[in-house]
Amino acid sequence: MSVAFVTGSGGLIGSEAVRHFAGLGLDVVGIDNDMRQEFFGEEASTAWNVRRLTDELGAAYSHHSIDIRDRAALGALFGRYGRDVAVVIHTAAQPSHDWAVRDPFTDFDVNAAGTLNVLQNVREHCIDAPVIHCSTNKVYGDRPNSLPLVELETRWEIEPGHPYEQGIREDMSIDACLHSIFGASKVAADVMVQEYGRYFGMKTACFRGGTLTGPAHSATELHGFLGYVMRANMERRTYKIFGYQGKQVRDAIHSSDVVSAFEAFFRSPRSAAVYNLGGGRHSNTSNREAFMLAERITGQEMITEYVEANRIGDHKWWIGSNEAFQADYPDWKQVYDVPMIMREIYEANVDKWVPGA
Ligand SMILES: NC(=O)c1ccc[n+]([C@@H]2O[C@H](COP(=O)([O-])OP(=O)(O)OC[C@H]3O[C@@H](n4cnc5c(N)ncnc54)[C@H](O)[C@@H]3O)[C@@H](O)[C@H]2O)c1
């Protein structure tokens, strides 16, 4: 028996990973206690996605509403499957800067200690299984804001000719800059994942994501950029822009392009790998540009409110480089760009995201 363990299986990346690895013929064991609902409220619940997985995949998917902080429950589940576990995809997390400030203990317990719980269980029960960890570009803290940027009509851009013109590489320091509470808990997890690779020789990878997106996101104001732009436009909500003249740039990668990268690592794993993974030059947008795209798709104007203060430590410009991953896994191909992603989010939610819903 070959089993894929997916933590955060009801979430954006987790649910995509469940379907993808089930499609490869693995049995999938999902772990998700719908804590996203506790973080962000009812509209962010991922229960609908778990129901969808259970309906679609039948016996190939078994769901466990376990909290990754619960060492005993997690240990029992890993113990039950032991060396049948062929891969562990760890996506469960508290994913928001703003939320982390409200409750730093819970943020750290979920993001840092929860990751340690996963790693230690793999070490004890299925040491050969590759561990794929969803890290984040926030491990670089606000360091990207020290890059020389120029202001264009709809976006900030890096100075032409800069070594990071094609995207920020993993050689950017993660040290001595402002991370936010969330960024710091994710740094702890990222370094621990690397350490279990280096120290114990386990096959581990940190994927430092840019904006990860797609229709499976339970988009809400505090988390889920492109999904929430579409949702705000479709439901006629006011979208708050936090500083930087709305010209802040993010790269955006569709969850299916993310999990195809996970598959490549699963098939040919390494120890202590660290990769930036995002939309890169192929797929990026500023807030303003995303608004224009949303307006074009729905035919309705965005309703926006400008808040002068930017979110603390928020990146003014983030385009990551996928070069390191692409060099190790040359067959991986990115399919989606921002317009394709936004249209797909629209089409998936056209009946659900209506005004007053
Ligand atoms: N979405 C992005 O833009 C983005 C960008 C960079 C990195 N990441 C990282 O990628 C990973 C996945 O992100 P996502 O967007 O799919 O998040 P998500 O919130 O959609 O999914 C995470 C899932 O984990 C579950 N969960 C949270 N705490 C849990 C706990 N204690 N025990 C069990 N389950 C728990 C939630 O209920 C949710 O279903 C996270 O680690 C996140 O930090 C996301």
Closest CA to 140 of 279, 261, 315, 283: 315
Distance from the alpha carbon of residue 111 to the mean position of ligand 1, in angstroms: 9
User: Is 30's C-beta closer than 6 angstroms to any atom of ligand 1?
Assistant: no
Distance CA 89, CA 84 (A): 15
pLDDT at residue number 215: 83
Distance 42 CA to ligand 1 centre (A): 16
According to DSSP, the residues that pair with 88 across neighbouring strands are 5, 131
Predicted local distance difference test score (pLDDT) of residue 258:
98
- For residue 108, give the nearest of 206, 183, 173, 35 by alpha carbon: 183
Q: What is the 3-state secondary structure (H, E, C) of the chain?
A: CCEEEEECCCCHHHHHHHHHHHHCCCEEEEECCCHHHHHHCHHHCCHHHHHHHHHHHHHHEEEECCCCCCHHHHHHHHHHHHHHEEEEEECCCCCCHHHHHHCHHHHHHHHHHHHHHHHHHHHHHCCCCCEEEEEEHHHHCCHHHHCCEEECCCCEEECCCCCCCCCECCCCCCCCCCCHHHHHHHHHHHHHHHHHHHHHCCCEEEEEECEEECCCCCCECCECHHHHHHHHHHHCCEEEEECHHHCCEEEEEEHHHHHHHHHHHHHCCCCCEEEEECCHHHCEEEHHHHHHHHHHHHCCCCEEEEECCCCCCCCCEECECCHHHHHHCCCCCCCCCHHHHHHHHHHHHCCCCCCCC
Residue, of 137 and 357, whose pLDDT is higher: 137
Q: Which residues neighbour 37 within 8 Å (Cβ) at sequence distance 6 or greater?
A: 44, 45, 46, 47
Q: Whose CA is nearest to atom 39 of ligand 1?
A: 11
Residue 80 has pLDDT above 80, yes or no: yes
Structure token digits, residue 99? 């939320």
Q: Write the CB contacts of 343 (distance below 8 Å, at least 6 apart in sequence).
A: 297
Ligand 1 within 6 A of CB of 92: yes
Ligand 1 centre from 134 Cα, in Å?
Answer: 8
What are 279-315's pLDDT values in tens digits?
999 999 999 999 999 999 999 999 999 999 998 888 9
Instruction: Work out the angle between the directed axes of helices 180-200 and 114-125 (0-180°, nearest 10).
Output: 20
d(CA 13, CA 301): 30
Question: What is the structure's pLDDT at 269?
Answer: 98
Q: Would the pLDDT of 188 be above 80? A: yes
Per-residue pLDDT reduced to its tens digit, 248-264: 999 999 999 999 999 99
Q: List pLDDT tens digits, range 111-167.
A: 999 999 999 999 999 999 999 999 999 999 999 999 999 999 999 999 999 999 999
pLDDT the model gives residue 216: 79
Give the pLDDT confidence score for residue 224 in this predicted structure: 81
pLDDT at 313: 83
Residue 350, both tokens? 């056209």
CB of 111 closer than 6 A to ligand 1? no
141 Cβ closer than 6 Å to some ligand 1 atom: no
In the numeric block, the tokens 């990769």 are attached to 275
Mean of the per-residue pLDDT values of the chain: 96
Residue nearest to atom 25 of ligand 1 (CA): 8
Instruction: Look at residue 261 in the predicted model and tell me its pLDDT.
Output: 98
220 has a pLDDT exceeding 80: no
Q: Out of 203-212, 261-270, 310-319, 328-337, which region has the weakest mean confidence (pLDDT)? A: 310-319
> What pLDDT, on the 0 to 100 scale, is given for residue 65?
98
Residue 274 has pLDDT above 80, yes or no: yes
Q: How far is the CA of 49 from the centre of ligand 1 (A)?
A: 13
Confidence of residue 217 (pLDDT cuts 50, 70, 90): confident
pLDDT reported for residue 31: 98
The finding on whether 320 has its CB within 6 A of some atom of ligand 1 is: no
Vertex 317: Cα angle to 158 and 282 (nearest 5): 80
Residue 288: predicted pLDDT:
98
Task: Indicate whether this model's pTM tops 0.85.
Answer: yes
pLDDT at 221 over 80: no
